Amino acid sequence: MSAIPLEALPIDELRQRSSTKWRRYPADVLPLFVAETDFALAPAISRALVRAVERGDTGYTPPEPGIRDAFVGFAQRRYGWSVEPAGVRWTCDVIMGVVELLRVVTKPGDRVIVTPPVYPPFYDTVVEAGAVVEKVPLLHGDAGWQLDLPGIEAALAAGARCVLLCNPHNPTGTVHSKASLAALADLAEAFGAAVISDEIHAPLVQSTVTFTPFLEASAAAARVGYIVTSASKAFNTAGLKCALMVASDPATIGVVQALPAEVEWRTGLFGAMAAVASFSPESDEWLDSLLARLDENARLLADLLAEHVPEAKYEIPDAGFLAWVDLSALGWGANPAERILHEARVALNAGPDFGEQGSGHVRINFGCSPDVLRDAIERIGVMTRS
């Protein structure tokens, strides 16, 4: 039986939240920018956190908080992936995990490939690790968004030492194919490079799409790759601070295990508790309902844009709650989000923040109620007629 779509909280209740999404802009602005969603927590998470508060359980995260076993079970149930437990460690958040791994697999001044348009912190992350950003943009055609494998090969041949992958990709929502990931792994291995795959949006892949964790793409992927992931995007727990680093080959497992103990100490205790609850079977039904809602909203957004902003170009994503929308045809400049905020009072992410390929684009967060989404697009539609 199909899951019943999850219902978002009323907007008046959401405006009582103190997170970035609801505090950055005045109350007359509809916030569809930062990757926070508008749903109540999964019940298992709420129960775990309430119990912790009631007993004053707010100290340091223990050496074995249960994250490893919970994630191993989740990966097996949701992806059919048998994770090697010895290859799992945890830290504060995905970007911190990426930085720590980059520091190990690169030397200062090494070049790291990123694939724009891509999550803006990727650029700063590479720099923070002491490396240099090498841009190899995604290709876009009739088959959608794809890795530019010849471009990546050229960059690796010229000396790049690592590929920072986003799978599923943010902002396009692309789930890279197993064949593409395996080809990337072969290139990395041929040139002695590593691949670090940010898979934070993996729990949000739609059931009609086949998701392959990078480490499962091939034997070569296991040898060259690392995954950094978290429950935080799917279960809206970013403020609680917990992510995982995963490896599956003896050599890469050794790298992960050799990371300083301080890397794990940075994990928030509430983040660890929330991760265990998120990855537990108790939360599967909630996640399925969330996916049903996101599928409906992604399709609703396509209909709303066709009706109110027909000049927009948008492809329904394979995963997540983020829409990459090309508004170039409207002639609103490189950063239409700025004008939309001023005139429509709708906050969207600025396309150029994702790289120069984002000129004329916006990123829309549709992890909200259909009514909020409808209101936002109707407001933008009024702008096109003024």
DSSP states along 31-71: E--SS---SPPPHHHHHHHHHHHHTT--SPPPS--SHHHHH
Cis peptide before 168 (omega within 30 of 0): yes
| d(C-alpha 23, C-alpha 18), whole Å | 6
pLDDT of residue 376: 98
Q: Which two tokens stand for residue 3?
A: 């899951």
Residue carrying the six token digits 């916030």: 31
Q: Is the pLDDT of residue 386 over 80?
A: no
Coil, strand or helix at 312: coil
Mean pLDDT of 57-86: 97
177 residue type, one letter: S
Q: Which two tokens stand for residue 10?
A: 């009323």
pLDDT of residue 293: 98
Q: Which two tokens stand for residue 249?
A: 């080959």
pLDDT range class, residue 180, cuts 50, 70, 90 = very high
Q: Tell if the pTM clears 0.85, that is, is over it.
A: yes
C-alpha torsion sign, points 54, 56, 59, 65:
negative
- In tens, the pLDDT along 91-108 reads 999 999 999 999 999 999
Residue carrying the six token digits 């007359």: 28
Mean pLDDT of 263-270: 97
Q: Is the pLDDT of residue 346 over 80?
A: yes
Stretch (H or E) spanning 243 = strand 243-246
Report whether 194 contacts 162 (CB < 8 A). Answer: yes
Fold (CATH) for 47-282: Aspartate Aminotransferase; domain 2 (3.40.640)
- In tens, the pLDDT along 268-284 reads 999 999 999 999 999 99
For the domain 11-40+284-385, what is the CATH superfamily, name and number?
Aspartate Aminotransferase, domain 1 (3.90.1150.10)
Q: Is the pLDDT of residue 1 over 80?
A: no
C-alpha torsion sign, points 338, 344, 348, 351:
negative
User: Start-end ranges of CATH 3.40.640.10 in the chain?
Assistant: 47-282
pLDDT range class, residue 143, cuts 50, 70, 90 = confident
Distances (CA, A) of 263 to 98, 215, 241: 11, 22, 12
Q: Report residue 83: phi and psi, to 5°.
A: -75, 140
Residues of the chain above pLDDT 70, percent: 100
| CA dihedral of 140, 94, 155, 222, whole degrees rounded to 10 | -100
| d(C-alpha 75, C-alpha 353), whole Å | 32
Mean pLDDT of 211-237: 98
User: Start-end ranges of CATH 3.90.1150.10 in the chain?
Assistant: 11-40+284-385
